[in-house]
């Protein structure tokens, strides 16, 4: 599993923390939406976003990749609540 984030404006330590936190939130949001739990192979997932992470701003341009293929029918919504907490939701478009 990997996350490619646009977080250049943050310090290195804070950027690393944001990446780990957001990676976990994005993974959890997708896996829980699928209903498959911890048996899902995380190496199959990649997340790409182009928006700077700013507390309180909802980001919706993150792209979800499964086995290298973009899943255009999924929307990821995430935000940093503050410097240490984030939330993410995965929604399948119908």
The whole-number mean pLDDT for each consecutive block of 10 residues of the chain, a chain of 94 residues, reads 48 61 84 85 85 83 93 92 85 90
Q: What is the pLDDT of residue 76?
A: 92
Q: Which of 21, 25, 19, 14 lies closest to 3 in space, CA to CA?
A: 19
Alpha helices in the chain (DSSP H): 12-34
Count of Cβ atoms closer than 10 Å to residue 87 Cβ = 14
Q: What is the pLDDT of residue 6?
A: 45
Strand partners, 3: 47
Q: What is the pLDDT of residue 86?
A: 86
Place of tokens 């790409």: 48
The CATH class that applies to domain 2-92 reads alpha beta
Q: Where are the domains of the chain?
A: 2-92
Q: What is the pLDDT of residue 36?
A: 86
Q: Which of 76, 82, 75 lies closest to 56 in space, CA to CA?
A: 82
Question: What's the predicted TM-score (pTM) here?
Answer: 0.76
Backbone φ, ψ for residue 37 (5° rounding): 70, -155
């Amino acid at each position: 599993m990997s996350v490619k984030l646009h977080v250049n404006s943050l310090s290195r330590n804070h950027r690393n923390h944001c990446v780990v936190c957001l990676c976990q939130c994005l993974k959890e949001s997708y896996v829980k939406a699928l209903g498959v739990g911890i048996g899902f192979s995380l190496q199959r997932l990649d997340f790409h976003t182009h928006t700077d992470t700013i507390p309180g701003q909802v980001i919706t341009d993150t792209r979800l990749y499964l086995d290298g293929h973009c899943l255009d029918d999924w929307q990821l919504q995430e935000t940093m609540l503050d410097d240490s907490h984030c939330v993410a939701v995965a929604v399948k478009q119908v």
